[in-house]
Structure 1
Amino acid sequence: MQRAPLTTEQVQTMICRVAQSCPITAAAVKQVGLPETRAQTQGISTFLRVICGQQLSVKAAASIWARVEAQFEGDFAPMRLLDLEPEGWRALGLSGQKTRYIHGLANALIDGSFRPGDLPHMGDEEALTHITALKGFGRWSAEIYLLFAEGRADMFPADDLAVQKGYQMLYGLDERPKPKALRELTEPWSPYRGPMAMFLWHYYGAATLDN
């Protein structure tokens, strides 16, 4: 099965479909507009980018990723990743823990225990399980990859702090919803929860700028 990242047109169309049956979403779309996609390529480069972005702001993650890209000049062969010593990764802005995650990814690619080329042929849960078997890749990391690189439109990274805050603000909740509760709350958005996560990022970002 072939999979491709969602285009901006697809993302916006899916959000509008949710808005047709959700007046709160419709009003928010009129207020802040629609987001653009954040499409990523399939394969090792995006897995590296996910590691770089863990627990960082978008701006900080982009800065580190730019340094990593410049270091490797786009050639992310597993052996090249292993050849760079921890000091080299630290100079690029990555912690020792993230360096270990990167080395674990490289070794899994070399020994064949992780096969990203098989992911497009897997169902959602099987793909999540395959990715989260990697050290350092929790559900959030797996969902981010499957949403942005493979265009799986119902992937919803409920562990994401900005997604939680975006939902809280959108619905005027007193408290930020926990991941399990948020997955249940957003079931009516299925099968378009991925684009709606993008909208929550967009909505939260717009509200933050206004303040």
Structure 2
Amino acid sequence: MDKNKISEGINYLKQNDHILSAVIERAGPCTLVPHYDYFGELVSSIAGQQLSVKAADSILKKMKMLCGEKFLPEVITGLSHDELRGCGLSNPKVRYIKDLAEKVASGELDPEKTASLPDEEVIKELTKVKGIGIWTCHMFLIFTLGRPDVLPYGDLGIKRAIAKHYGFESYPDENQVKELSVRFKWSPYNTIASWYLWKSLEFND
């Protein structure tokens, strides 16, 4: 997703959603840039599941001290459960990350090949790994592959932002998030809409 695509998406969203238009005006340019460290991003996503950004960053910092700045499957497969556990990972997350590393090291899964697959096929491939569910797939599609039309309907931050801006008394459920996307015509730029919703959580009001 290049700058032209992002610009097209912003203009489209501003025309179709007056609420999001105000968020966009306040937030400024979209600075979403995909990361291309396919394996590393999956490791980071698993490590950060259901944690605050601060807690996840602390764990990842310790993991990089142990593994090196770039996560490599052959390095992680060579580490013991206790070594990874010592970084602050839960027992299940250690198993998930080890399973991912083993599948990539053996060639059973090649994250880089997902770049040529449709979104649904990417999800199908990634969910073969223990501990990778739809949320992790959505994060991978957005932040690694740069896909333009991904709606992370289960993400807590998205739900918080929608409740804040769209008049919900409590956090919307997944179906309500999807319905809102349809109502305000976010597709085919759900990713950009999501980025601005996340960004709006930084507003001081």
TM-score for the superposition, normalised by structure 2: 0.89
Map 1:110-189 to 2 at 5 A: 110-187=105-182, 188-189=185-186
Match of 1:3 in 2: none
**CA distance 1:181–1:113, change in 2 (3 Å):** farther
Q: Which runs of 5+ in 1 are unaligned?
A: 1-5
Q: What's the % identity of the aligned pairs?
A: 30
Structure 1 CA distance, aligned partners of 2:47 and 2:67?
Answer: 14
AA matched with 1:27: A
Instruction: Figure out how many residues of one structure are paired with residues of the other and give that number.
Output: 203
How far does residue 36 in structure 1 lie from its aligned partner after superposition?
A: 2.6
| Equivalence for 2:96 | 101
**Ranges in structure 2 where 5+ consecutive residues have no aligned partner:** none
> Which residue in the other structure is 1:203 paired with?
200
**Equivalent residue, structure 1, for 2:188:** 191
What's the C-alpha RMSD, in Å, of the aligned pairs? 2.0
Q: Which one-letter code corresponds to 2:140 in the other structure?
A: Y
CA shift, 1:17, in A, is: 2.4
2:59 to 52, 60, 64: 64
Aligned pairs for 1:41-56 (under 5 A) are 41-56=36-51
What secondary structure is seen at the aligned counterpart in 2 of 1:45?
helix
19-28 or 7-16: bigger deviation: 7-16
State the shift of 1:41 in Å. 2.0
